[in-house]
Amino acid sequence: MDLLLTAAQVALAPAALLAVLAGTLLGVIFGAIPGLTFTVAMALVVPMSFSLETAPAIGLLLGTYIGGMTGGSVPAILLGIPGTPSAAATVLDGYPLTRRGKASLALGTAVVASAFGGIVSLIVMVVSVDMVAKLALRFGPAETFGLLVFGLSTICGLAQKSLVKGLIAGVLGLMVMTIGIDEMEGVQRLTFGTVVMQQGISLLVAMIALFAVPHVIDAFVDHYTGGRRIEAVADVRAELPTIRDILRDFWLMLRCALLGTGIGAIPGTGGPIAAFLAYAHAQKSSKRPERFGKGEMAGVVAPETANNAVTGGAMIPLLSLGIPGDPATAILLSGLLIHGLIPGPMLFIQNPGEIYQIYLAIIVAYVSVVAIQLLGIRFFVQVLRVPAHLLAVGIIIMCAYGAFAIRNSVFDVISVAVLGAMAYGLMRVGIPLTPIILGLVLGPAIEREFRTAMILSEGDPSVFVGSLPAAVFLGLAVLIVGTQVVRATRATLSARRTEDKASASVTPSE
Amino acid sequence: MSAEPDQSRRLDLIAGGILLLFALAWTATVWRTVPPGFDGIGPRAFPFWLGVALAVLSAVLFGRGLRGSPPPADAEDDDPPAGATVSTGLRLGLVAAVCGIIAVYGVLMQKIGFLPATALTVAATLVVVLGERRPLIVAGMALGIAVGAWLAFGQVLGAYMPRGTWISLF
């Protein structure tokens, strides 16, 4: 109890509250602008959190994460364009509601559903995260290695369209993190004798380069091709649903919140999957399924509850095991690391106060989200009118200064430029960028735990199958990758058969 | 056969080829420059085997492009990339422009200080790269972003703002 009160004193101090509010505002803005994801906002915010104390820094990061997840619903409802992939399912009924003149109520309902989903997921997280962490405390290097490899295997879920390209991305991320001084034996690796390379590639520099720079380039390309144009939006306000409306959808919201939390807890899944599953569930369980897609409020409630519940779910493996499940939590992890908080089971022993601060920051962030969305909806409508290429100019400045602020080094700024160009090239040839981040984040720990386990077992690799948890985790990783390989092979064979049939049907007529 | 699968195979071929060469160069450099260490799993093992893994995966990608394996049935891209029809020259130009601006801005920050460097970079980007000709927009954005960022980062967050070695206004 004392610990909670002390944490409350720190987390609810004016500076911390202001940081959560600022983060939430930034997250909602980035989430609300189609194409500008809140992952970009998080990559830009992490270097800014350097100069802050731990509590405001945590608040800034969590506020950006939670605000971003919620902000995506604004353009989804008003314009029919999801601000974030997680809000894609909200478009299905949110936009028809706007066309029927119910935009204000849809926006208000989305805000309430989002906050409900987030708070329920927080409760589930608080209950479960400690148990998972206690279990993980019994792990030695071999078990931790197995767990990390299992986390890395979620690359398959993040690989989007091609498993080979996803694996290439993951390996590239792991490779980058081996550059610099080897932390176990102090040997220089791929530094080419230069001093600047000895400290390796900064994780934050890589994140800014991977997420923000390609976005800026795309915004400029769109400008030259006359790409996306935002149509005029009428002035709206957010109108809260009545108590009767909330009670009518209460059980649906609860079910979707639990579904979203569960999905979020599985690394590699995330908001879009949870939102679409919740939408399908709402339609199936509705007495009026035929009204879905035409402006049914439950079609907004379900995805918005579920995608926000993902935030609490994703925090379970992040805090208890140190495994991020998506790019946003990977950036959150790096932000926590900068402030000396190492997510994983030891965090609960070494920094119990900070754990409570995280819980409180999440609650404050959800309260801020509700306040900001209800009061500031007209402001977001104005922001939506600003052309994307002009916003991108501001992002260039944030990218460069953010990279500079990490170590006050121009080398880091130039690294962002070089890595950004490379990231854009990889993106253009279809290599997904998210698995690179997972490789960057998990790489050093995987190598360290593997080598420590091998040293302790005097070079006997059977240590990885001799321990039941290690064997289970490694088995699961093999199963996940194996399943994906089989699925990808089948899909390729099926596509080839279709192509063969098509060419066979063309040949006789020639 | 449509042009899209052809394009996809060509990209696989290019990406696979470049990455394969990179992986081979990486593996050779690691073998030559990183000592194996005292036991079997020393500092060389991880980067070396990662290089080998990348070489194998790149070869698979290259082979796919060479053989012309069709993309999986579920691999259709619902959301075409930005400016799907834009010429390669313009795209490369914009990549060079954005990355060049970031690098030059980094150097300028140290030479002339944060405020002038930011205002100059924003104005130059708007005029030269984006072709913006409205003086109010250019001046407003240049000053707005520079002063706004200086206030937010330097004054509110207390972050270090480079003062400039050639000229120093603050």
Looking at A178-182, A382-386, A469-473, which range is the least confident one?
A382-386
Nearest to B106 among A188, A389, A410 (CB): A410
Report, as an integer, the average pLDDT of A270-281.
81
How confident is the model at residue A234, as a pLDDT?
59
Taking CB atoms and an 8 Å cutoff, what residues of chain B touch A227? 82-83
Of the pLDDT bands very low, low, confident and very high (cuts 50, 70, 90), residue A425 is very high
Between B28 and A294, the more confident residue is B28
- Distance, CA of A186 to CA of A72 (rounded, Å): 46
Each residue of A71-99: pLDDT tens digit? 878 878 887 777 777 787 888 888 888 88
Q: Which of residues 19-58 of B touch A (CB under 8 A)?
A: 19, 26, 29-30, 33-35, 37-43, 45-47, 50-51, 53-54, 57-58
Q: What is the mean pLDDT of chain A?
A: 83
How confident is the model at residue A351, as a pLDDT?
80
Each residue of A406-423: pLDDT tens digit? 788 888 899 999 999 999
**Contact yes or no for B40 and A454 at CB 8 A:** yes
The pair of three-digit structure tokens given for residue A301, joined into one six-digit string: 């409630």
How confident is the model at residue B73, as a pLDDT?
47
Instruction: Give yes or no for residue B75 having a pLDDT over 50.
Output: no
- Distance, CA of A295 to CA of A101 (rounded, Å): 10
**Contact yes or no for B159 and A172 at CB 8 A:** no
Instruction: Give yes or no for residue A140 having a pLDDT over 70.
Output: yes
Helices A352-384 and A14-32 pack at an angle, to 10 degrees, of 40
Each residue of B95-146: pLDDT tens digit? 999 999 999 999 999 999 999 999 999 999 999 999 988 999 999 999 999 9
Contact of B68 with chain A, judged by CB distance below 8 Å, is answered with no
Contact of B59 with chain A, judged by CB distance below 8 Å, is answered with no
CB contact burial A256-271 (16+ within 10 A = b; e otherwise): bbbbbbbbbbbbbbbb
Of the pLDDT bands very low, low, confident and very high (cuts 50, 70, 90), residue A509 is very low
Of the pLDDT bands very low, low, confident and very high (cuts 50, 70, 90), residue B74 is very low
Contact of B155 with chain A, judged by CB distance below 8 Å, is answered with no
Q: Find which of A122-136, A262-276, A401-415, B120-134 is predicted with most confidence, using mean pLDDT.
A: B120-134
Q: What percent of chain A has pLDDT over 70?
A: 94
How confident is the model at residue A47, as a pLDDT?
81
Instruction: Give yes or no for residue B1 having a pLDDT over 50.
Output: no
Given a contact cutoff of 8 angstroms between Cβ atoms, the answer to whether A405 and A46 are in contact is no
Nearest CA in chain A to B99: A417
Of the pLDDT bands very low, low, confident and very high (cuts 50, 70, 90), residue B32 is very high
How confident is the model at residue B4, as a pLDDT?
57
**Contact yes or no for B162 and A404 at CB 8 A:** yes
What one-character-per-residue DSSP string does A215-231 give? Answer: HHHHHHHHHHHT---PP
Count CB pairs under 8 A between chains A and B: 226
Looking at A36-45, A111-120, A286-295, A500-509, which range is the least confident one?
A500-509
Between A46 and A169, the more confident residue is A169
Q: What is the mean pLDDT of chain B?
A: 84
How confident is the model at residue B108, as a pLDDT?
93
Nearest to B83 among A224, A420, A495 (CB): A224
Q: Find which of A49-63, A379-393, B59-73 is predicted with most confidence, using mean pLDDT.
A: A49-63
Provide the residue ranges of all domains of chain B, joining segments of one domain with +.
Answer: 3-67, 90-156
Q: Find which of A41-45, A158-162, A374-378, B129-133 is predicted with most confidence, using mean pLDDT.
A: B129-133
Each residue of A171-217: pLDDT tens digit? 999 999 899 888 888 888 988 888 878 878 887 788 888 878 888 89
Long-range CB contacts (< 8 A, 24+ apart) of B138-143?
A: B141/A390, B141/A393, B141/A394, B142/B118, B143/B119
Nearest CA in chain B to A50: B159
Taking CB atoms and an 8 Å cutoff, what residues of chain B touch A225? 82-83, 85-86
Which residues have CB under 8 Å from A51's CB, separation 6+? A405, B157, B158, B159
Each residue of A359-370: pLDDT tens digit? 888 888 888 888
Instruction: Give yes or no for residue B71 having a pLDDT over 60.
Output: no
Q: Which residue has tokens 């080094």?
A: A409
Q: Which residue has tokens 């040997």?
A: A187
**Contact yes or no for A189 and B86 at CB 8 A:** no
Taking CB atoms and an 8 Å cutoff, what residues of chain A touch B54? 168, 171-172, 175
Between B143 and A38, the more confident residue is B143
Nearest to B54 among A172, A403, A496 (CB): A172
Q: Residue A352, Cβ neighbours under 10 Å: how many? A: 15
- Residue A488, H or E segment: helix A468-506
Of the pLDDT bands very low, low, confident and very high (cuts 50, 70, 90), residue B85 is low
Nearest CA in chain B to A159: B75
Nearest to A421 among B77, B95, B129 (CB): B95
* Best to test chain A binding among B1, B20, B27, B50 (most A CBs inside 10 Å): B50
How confident is the model at residue B78, as a pLDDT?
45
**Contact yes or no for B37 and A162 at CB 8 A:** no
Between A300 and A286, the more confident residue is A300
Between A25 and A196, the more confident residue is A25
For A71, half-sphere exposure in the C-beta direction (CA atoms, 13 angstrom radius) is 35
Nearest-Cα distance to chain B for A249, in Å, is 32
**Contact yes or no for B72 and A494 at CB 8 A:** yes
Between A160 and B147, the more confident residue is B147
Instruction: Give yes or no for residue B81 having a pLDDT over 80.
Output: no
